[in-house]
Amino acid sequence: MRARRRQGRGTRSIFGRSPLSVPRLAPVLALAATLAAAFLLRGATPARAEAPAPPDRLRAAIETFSIDSLFAHLERLGGDAMAGRGTGTPGGDAAADYLAARLREYGLRPMGGDGTYFQRIPMRGSFPLPESRLEIARGDSIRSLALGDDYLLYTMGEETHVPKPAPLFFAGYGIVAPEYDYDDYHDRDVEGSIVVFLEGEPPSEDPDYFAGAFPTIHSHPEWKQRVAIARGARGSVMIGARRGPDSPSWEDRRSDFAFEHVTLPYDVPRNLNVVVREGPARLLFEQSPHTLEDVALMDRTGTMRSFPLAASMSFRGAFRERDFLASNVIGLLDGRDPLLRETCLVLSAHYDHLGIGPSVDGDSIYNGVVDNAIGCAGLLEIARVLAVSGRKPLRPILFVFLTAEEKGLLGARHYALHPAVPLSRTIAAVNLQGLAIFDEFEDVIGIGAEYSTIEDVLAETAASFGLEVSAASSEHYVSEAFARSDQFAFAQAGVPSVLVVDGVRGRRIGEEGMLGSLAAWTRERYHTPFDDLSQPIDRSAVLLHGRVILSLAFSLAETYAPPQWKAGSEYARARLRSIAEGR
């Protein structure tokens, strides 16, 4: 989950500018991915449903939603005192305590462990140490690469060690995509090798071939790593070459990798996976059938091929590790109908951010105000409105504040394995990942709504506010964006899920203003210390977005007919399995 802070810096890459490489090579995290969906809306057809009159109970709840109350939470969660709410840090624990205290104040039932609001999760944190040794061998020659200057580690721990040199094999982009009739591993045996591949995907102007200019799941480094390991590879090396002026510089990469690597102890052990700087990467190709310059030409001309390299690689890592507990914070708002008390709707938001990191202009606190203190503040205000005002829906609502989203959806993944309410009785999940900050909007985007009948409820909700529902024009991009935040973990567990974000048509600044503001924010503030309380935030936009989410949640919890996955959805089978197993 990484995004780039500013324009790339550094020396010119031999890969030059591929016209389609810029959006494809900027790895997007949940917030950037879902916000950037707006760029795909040109040419998409908005949908407007009939505008139903909201029931009195819902209308009263909407009017009670307070922007002042929301901002009071935002100032606490996004302030410097929380030190960026890093997972497993005092700041993260303080944020969890604050959330639990508010749920207790609002009278929600604790649904964590031992009668508390805290679902404790064991985690392991790792930092690589400079003593780590990555070596490239060719005959009697051995070259050592320096951690940080020459390479960075995606994975850590004992399982990453490669004590004896393993042969290297260049596998193009490291992609196997049957839907595009593309296979970098075709007729190639890489068992026991360390696979080397480029970042990104084959250049394409065809939206039906690797989604044209936009990234698919095949571009994710983690996906490529899994493909390599599934074919018996010992590990992987991604070449960190700049393929466009906006792709990340090495300094940007170093900053992104400066934070603690966190995993769940029961995760499958990970093999060695590294990214190597373009300059040192040339060493991998010496005395091989093709040089790195040849590969750059293949990339530009669409003539990529795979071939064995003459070198081998070994790795002996040194790590500073710790085991700790982090917490999901969970509270239940009871519904009005006793017949539905064993079911629930989940409303979720992740409360973690990056914590303390590399200093930028003298500031080292990565506050994460928009990502995602503001989402948590909105969720708290929804809980207050429904609980304190007594305007409860028919069905219970489970408020879940998730930890370690920034570390790979760890809190959501753990919850899916250990749900407070059985997944088979969880009718849907609505995730909050940021709220609108630029301007009041005229349309919304339901990331993942089209996979289930949540789409219909969202259309009615939007219409009640005079809004339209806009759809991304690329099915591939929808899948990419949907997979980048916590709603994905619920969907994989079979629960119909959605993430609702503001669209691109601003009532005051228009489409160009919204798109420009988004681009500037992503470039200058996302995952930097400048996503803080000093940034401009349009309170009316936040209020509108919060009320839309409140209305959608109320409508979902007020119905006796729970949402269903649509025919053909890849998540429907998991739903049937959870129902059959009663879990």
Q: What is the pLDDT of residue 215?
A: 81
- Helices H, strands E: what count in the chain? 17, 22
Amino acid at 27: P
Residue with tokens 């193009």: 172
Structure tokens at 19: 């016209």
Tokens matching residue 3: 């995004």
Beta bridge partners of residue 329, listed in sequence order: 118, 401
Domain at 130-317, CATH from 3.50.50.60, 3.20.20.70, 3.60.15.10, 3.50.30.30: 3.50.30.30
CA dihedral 92, 98, 99, 104 (to 10 degrees): 150
Domain boundaries, the chain: 41-124+322-581, 130-317
* Residue 313 per-residue DSSP state: E
Domain 41-124+322-581: which topology?
A: Aminopeptidase (3.40.630)
Task: List the structure tokens of 549.
Answer: 């989410």
Residue type, 521: W
Domain 41-124+322-581 and domain 130-317, same fold? Reply is no
Q: How far apart are CA 435 and CA 528, in angstroms?
A: 18
pLDDT at 214: 80
User: Are 531 and 367 contacting, i.e. CB atoms less than 8 angstroms apart?
Assistant: yes
Summarize pLDDT for 35-50 with one digit per residue, the tens: 444 444 444 555 655 5
Helix/strand/coil (H/E/C) assignment for every residue in 13-68: CCCCCCCCHHHHHCCCCHHHHHHHHHHHCCCCCCECCCCCCCCHHHHHHHHHCCHH
Whose CA is closest to 341, among 414, 419, 425? Answer: 425
Name the pTM for this structure: 0.90
Strands 497-502, 426-432: pairing kind: parallel
C-alpha dihedral, 257 to 258 to 264 to 265, nearest 10°: 110
Q: How far is the C-alpha of 85 from the C-alpha of 74, rounded, in Å?
A: 13
Helix-helix angle 56-64:374-388, to 10 degrees: 130
Element (H, E) at 311: strand 307-316
> Tell me, what's the pLDDT at 476?
56
Among candidate residues 181, 225, 174, the one with its CA nearest the CA of residue 201 = 174
Cα–Cα dist 501/474, whole Å: 17
pLDDT, tens only, 299-323: 999 999 999 999 999 999 999 999 9
For position 244, what pLDDT does the model report? 67
In the DSSP assignment, the letter for residue 248 is P
126 contacts 320 by C-beta, under 8 angstroms: yes
Pairing assessment for the beta strands 182-183 and 176-177 based on DSSP bridges: antiparallel
Give the residue ranges of the chain where pLDDT is below 70: 1-13, 15-55, 244-246, 472-478
> Among residues 455, 460, 538, 540, which one has the least CA distance to residue 500?
455
- 28 neighbors 265 (Cβ within 8 angstroms): no
Q: Taken in order 417, 418, 419, 425, is the CA torsion positive or negative?
A: positive
CA angle 71, 373, 364 (to 5 degrees): 115
| DSSP SS3 for 439 | coil
The secondary structure element, H or E, covering residue 121 is strand 118-128
Q: Residue 143 in contact with residue 136, Cβ under 8 Å? A: yes
